[in-house]
Amino acid sequence: AQQPPDSCQTLCDCLEAAKTVKCVDGNLTAVPPDLPPYVRNLFITGNRLARLPAGAFPAQRLPDLSALNLSGNHLRAVEAGALAALPALRQLDLSGNPLVSLSPLAFGEGGSPLEELALRGALRDHGVLLSLAAMLQSGALRNLSRLELADNGLLLLPAGMFTALPALRQLDLSNNSLVGLRNVSFQGLGQLQSLDLSDNSLGVLRNGTLAQFRSLPALRRIGLGRNAWVCDCAIEDLVAWLKESDQVEGKEALTCAYPDKMLGKALLKINSSDLNCSVPVDLPSQLQTSYVFLGIVLALIGAIFLLVLYLNRKGIKKWMHNIRDACRDHMEGYHYRYEINADPRLTNLSSNSDV
């Protein structure tokens, strides 16, 4: 049946001139079924959409929808095919939803034209992070140019998570708990212009990561502020890179967090003499040296023992003879007693004498 002209107004604020629909703080539990086909910008925020099922958006009913904001809706599950029928979708915001299930096929099997994806505070569940990685690696979002993963408490990122995003220009990983980037590959992100790693728990960046940064021609804005930089010998490569690179924003403000003697010192002002790294710390070689030293000590003790035996050979020989004579006398006593007990005549004689 034909919907009345004002049906959109019952649940949402519909602005045809601006091609915008806002369904804000309305306690909605599902996407309104009668959204006007003219909508380009759709805001469904602050509601109670616990799940986004397959076909949540009517197939081919929203041909021009390009910006979809679903933030803050208590969403827990985005199911396969939930976002598949939106041919013009370019921007999607799922921030602030406590997701526990995100289907790698949420955009269908043919992929999506999506260019911007915001998941701020929506990836607290580790399983959802792995699902997102699977979705990205599948190539379903190859057109993505901006990916926002801030405020998620992330410790480590799945290996190869960004390998199928050739169009990515902006990557926001700020305000997480990242402790390292060893398993993170930025190879293939030839268009990457901005990488925000501020407000994390990074202690050092290794040579492999720094080499990747150098190899990305478009990367000109790297945010590294407010991390827990550990200023020991391992940070020399990072300091050298900072001094030569123009990629890091506000690098003058980067300071040491550990150890205490280096607290607050600017990374750019660190010299080798501050780190006392003239002798490289090589644990395997230290262990090898310890084993050699132990062997020498044991050999020395053995030599001294043999020398003592040699010098006291006469006394030891006499002592051995005395022990041998004592053992012989003792054994002869046992032998004599055995012979008496074994001879019946001697036994009877002994008994008669007792009587």
pLDDT of residue 343: 65
Q: Is residue 27 part of a domain?
A: yes
Residues 39 and 156 in one domain: yes
Residues 168 and 300 in one domain: no
Q: Does position 1 have pLDDT exceeding 50, yes or no?
A: no
Residues 193 and 253 in one domain: yes
Residues 6+ apart with CB under 8 A from 271: none
Encode pLDDT of 44-87 as tens digits. 999 999 999 998 987 778 999 999 999 999 999 999 999 998 99
pLDDT of residue 355: 43
Residues 241 and 129 in one domain: yes
Q: φ, ψ for residue 129 (rounded to 5)?
A: -60, -45
Q: Which residue has the higher pLDDT, 342 or 227?
A: 227
Encode pLDDT of 84-135 as tens digits. 989 999 999 999 999 999 999 999 888 899 999 999 999 999 999 999 999 9
Q: Is residue 148 part of a domain?
A: yes
Kindly calculate the radius of gyration of the chain based on its CA atoms and give it in whole angstroms.
40
- Domain tally for the chain? 2
Encode pLDDT of 153-166 as tens digits. 999 999 999 999 99
Residues 192 and 180 in one domain: yes
Residues 267 and 288 in one domain: no
Q: Is residue 142 part of a domain?
A: yes
**How far is the C-alpha of 57 from the C-alpha of 67, rounded, in Å?**
13
Q: Does position 344 have pLDDT exceeding 70, yes or no?
A: no
pLDDT of residue 283: 58
Q: 3-state class of 260 per DSSP?
A: helix
Q: What torsion, rounded to 10 degrees, do the Cα atoms 69, 71, 76, 77 define? A: 10
Q: Is residue 323 part of a domain?
A: no
Residues 229 and 306 in one domain: no
- Of 222, 253, 279, the residue that ends a domain is 279
Q: Which residues span the domain enclosing 225?
A: 13-279
Among residues 92, 156, 83, 155, which one has the least CA distance to residue 118?
92
CATH number of residue 246's parent domain? 3.80.10.10
Residues 182 and 285 in one domain: no
Residues 242 and 306 in one domain: no
pLDDT of residue 19: 96
Encode pLDDT of 211-269 as tens digits. 999 999 899 999 999 999 999 999 999 999 999 999 999 999 999 999 999 999 999 99
Residues 6+ apart with CB under 8 A from 289: none
Residues 190 and 301 in one domain: no
Mean predicted confidence (pLDDT) in 202-207 = 94
Average pLDDT, the chain: 88
Residues 58 and 98 in one domain: yes
Encode pLDDT of 263-313 as tens digits. 999 999 998 888 877 655 455 666 677 788 888 989 989 889 888 888 887
Q: Is residue 22 part of a domain?
A: yes
Residues 187 and 142 in one domain: yes
Q: Does position 201 have pLDDT exceeding 60, yes or no?
A: yes
Q: 3-state class of 318 per DSSP?
A: helix
Q: Does position 208 have pLDDT exceeding 60, yes or no?
A: yes
pLDDT of residue 151: 97
- Of 226, 257, 279, the residue that ends a domain is 279
pLDDT of residue 277: 77
Q: Which residue has the higher pLDDT, 332 or 241?
A: 241
Q: Is residue 3 part of a domain?
A: no
Q: Is residue 26 part of a domain?
A: yes
Task: Name which of 177-186, 255-264, 272-281, 321-330 the model is least confident about.
Answer: 272-281
Q: Is residue 105 part of a domain?
A: yes
Answer whether 119's CB lies under 8 Å from 98's CB: no
